[in-house]
Structure 1
Amino acid sequence: MAADIQDLLAFVAVVNAGGFREGARLSGKSASSLSDAVRRMERRLGVRLLNRTTRSVVPTEAGARLMERIVPALGEVESALDVVNEFRDRPSGTLRLNVPASAVRLVLPAIVTPFLKSYPDIRLEVIAEESFVDVLAAGCDAGIRYDERLEQDMIAIPIGPRFQRFATAASPAYLDARGRPEHPRDLLQHACLRGKFASGAMPPWEYERDGETVSVDPSGPLIVRIGGAVDLAVQAALDGLGVIYLFEDWLRPYLDSGALEPVLEPWWQRFTGPFLY
């Protein structure tokens, strides 16, 4: 098929130029290669396409009919290739991202507006969920995940802050009433605001200090689905209902304002930031 198309292009070049020599000059090919291409076509079709004289080359009736049909078709092919080239020269279309709620709040706000201003022909669709779906099977083009959720052979690039911490905090009023924990295991005696994945798994609260790691599974009056319901737990902490364990950057405005007080800060665990894959 590729050879057939090249022969057709050679035939069109010769007819448009009125001869092999001029066709060769305009197309950048040799006159002999154009002549060979036309002869191959004539042999394949079993009909003469060009009348050749010492002064000119003109299409036969069959050649003229072929030109009438093939030139518009080649024009359509060229237009189609131009459309494809637009994707190469200027990215366009819909880009679907599958991301956790933490990335929506902590990573994307600083990235989305500059990205869309740089690529105005792209429409970004963001799907936020905490279930660990196969991004491609879900119809998405890419996703954002933390390294422990990435497959070993997955191509991934860092995005957002390179290091983050899980913070523990409570309102000053709560801590004044219930006391301030001095060790992660003290949380077992406190009202803790927990998060649960869609799968039903409830991740433990993990801490690390001077080589010692501690994982606790405290109880409390409120459990929220990790994702959109996390803000409910934040509000509960602000209202003095209990202790919360969440991304430091998520709680930072409340820590800075004094609405929440850090708990066990020397134990806060540091981890690698997210990746785009």
Structure 2
Amino acid sequence: MRRMDPAQLPTLMAFESVARQQSFTRAAAQTGVSASALSQSIRLLEAQLGIRLFNRTTRRVALTEAGVRFLERVRPALSMLETAFDVLDEMRDQPSGILRINLPRIANEMLVLPHLGEFKQLYPQITLELALDDGLSEIVGEGFDAGIRLGEMLARDMVAIPLSGQMRIAVAGSPEYFTRHAPPTVPDDLMRHDCLRYRFTTSGGIYRWEFVSPAEPSRVFEVDPPGGFVTNDIRTMVRAAEQGAGLVHVFEGYVGEQLADGRLVRVLDDWSPTFDGFCLYTSSRAQMPLKLRVLIDFLRSKRQR
């Protein structure tokens, strides 16, 4: 049986970083060493193990079959070491270390960004790394401590912790837009409007607008309205609506200021559905590090305000 040389630990950490980033350049930026030094470390590890771990091209770095199997065993071991340091932090009652969170842009803008300065003042020893991702990421395999998504989008095997209450949809357009178009009174009227559409990052499909009937609030139905503008960025979509480019279908909390000051005017209010709010999700509550627990408590405290 091959025994591990303790001096190989930094190289194993470098291997895990390259595998997660699928790039020597990005992994080098994360670990603070040059890409050439990182590449040399991996080549030395491969020579010591007597097997290739990565296939390299000018554009891509991918694990070999041996690399995949090696990573499956290395990653849990490194995670256990990180947890050991987290335990010491808890004994000192000083949350610290790198906290990696994967979340969509809308969750960042609604839940995190407004309070980021306060969180950093409260916990200066935590390095908070936010990966803005509108797709669905596998948080464990990609090295994140947790993710934030809508409750309805989470896999059943994930531990979900609510961060917000239920969220209602708003359909809105600018006052200037409604000088040119009569406001819709039922969802079918949208077929005569210019609607701003959202394209999903993961599937590539375009979101079909969801509504409920005032007569049957429990029945959700979809409308696929026409529109001459499509984007995968909600902020861009809302800005386009403010400029009179069309109607937008978003969470009312995201456009609260625009609705309050009149930049946007709401329509189809009686037909607007309510959805489960955002949840922070992780693979397990067991041995949850203090740095993650304090972030959860902090974000949940903002929900109460």
Asked whether the two chains share a fold, i.e. TM above 0.5, the reply is yes
Given candidates 237, 240, 243, the residue that maps to 2:244 is 240
- Which segment is superposed worse, 233-242 or 95-104? 233-242
Q: Using structure 2 for the length normalisation, give the TM-score.
A: 0.59
Given candidates 89, 103, 108, the residue that maps to 1:104 is 108
**Equivalent runs, 1:105-184 vs 2, <5 Å:** 105-159=109-163, 161-184=164-187
Aligned to 1:264: 268
CA distance in 1, matches of 2:199, 2:269: 23
Determine if the alignment matches structure 1 residue 95 to structure 2 residue 99: yes
What's the offset of the Cα at 1:87? Answer: 4.7
Aligned to 2:225: 218
Whichever residue aligns with residue 111 of structure 2, its letter is V
What's the offset of the Cα at 1:214? Answer: 2.8
What's the offset of the Cα at 1:101? Answer: 0.9
Q: SS where residue 159 of structure 2 aligns?
A: coil
CA distance in 2, matches of 1:128, 1:106: 13
Unaligned runs of 5+ in 2: 1-83, 282-305
Question: Aligned pair in 2 of structure 1 residues 115, 169: CA closer, same or farther (>3 Å)?
Answer: same
Aligned to 1:203: 207
Q: SS where residue 130 of structure 1 aligns?
A: coil
Question: Aligned pair in 2 of structure 1 residues 118, 185: CA closer, same or farther (>3 Å)?
Answer: same
Question: Aligned pair in 2 of structure 1 residues 87, 163: CA closer, same or farther (>3 Å)?
Answer: same
Q: Using structure 1 for the length normalisation, give the TM-score.
A: 0.65
User: Is residue 184–residue 214 contact of structure 1 (8 Å, CA) maintained in 2?
Assistant: no
Aligned to 2:54: none
Whichever residue aligns with residue 182 of structure 1, its letter is T
What's the offset of the Cα at 1:86? Answer: 3.2
CA distance in 1, matches of 2:229, 2:123: 43
Q: Deviations over 1:193-239 (max 9, x none)?
A: 000011211121001133143310111110001xxx32222122111
Unaligned runs of 5+ in 1: 1-80
Q: SS where residue 143 of structure 2 aligns?
A: coil
CA distance in 2, matches of 1:252, 1:155: 30
**Equivalent runs, 1:183-202 vs 2, <5 Å:** 183-198=186-201, 199-202=203-206
User: Is residue 100–residue 144 contact of structure 2 (8 Å, CA) maintained in 1?
Assistant: yes
Q: SS where residue 275 of structure 2 aligns?
A: strand
CA distance in 1, matches of 2:104, 2:139: 12
Q: SS where residue 141 of structure 2 aligns?
A: coil
Whichever residue aligns with residue 121 of structure 1, its letter is Q
Determine if the alignment matches structure 1 residue 273 to structure 2 residue 277: yes
What's the offset of the Cα at 1:110? Answer: 4.5
Question: Aligned pair in 2 of structure 1 residues 254, 84: CA closer, same or farther (>3 Å)?
Answer: closer
Q: Deviations over 1:24-65 (max 9, x none)?
A: xxxxxxxxxxxxxxxxxxxxxxxxxxxxxxxxxxxxxxxxxx
CA distance in 2, matches of 1:133, 1:109: 20
Aligned to 1:15: none
CA distance in 1, matches of 2:173, 2:272: 14
Q: Deviations over 1:116-147 (max 9, x none)?
A: 33322111000111110101111111110111
- Taking only aligned residues, the RMSD between alpha carbons, in angstroms, comes to 1.9
Percent of matched pairs sharing the same residue? 35
Question: Aligned pair in 2 of structure 1 residues 242, 86: CA closer, same or farther (>3 Å)?
Answer: closer
User: Is residue 106–residue 234 contact of structure 2 (8 Å, CA) maintained in 1?
Assistant: no
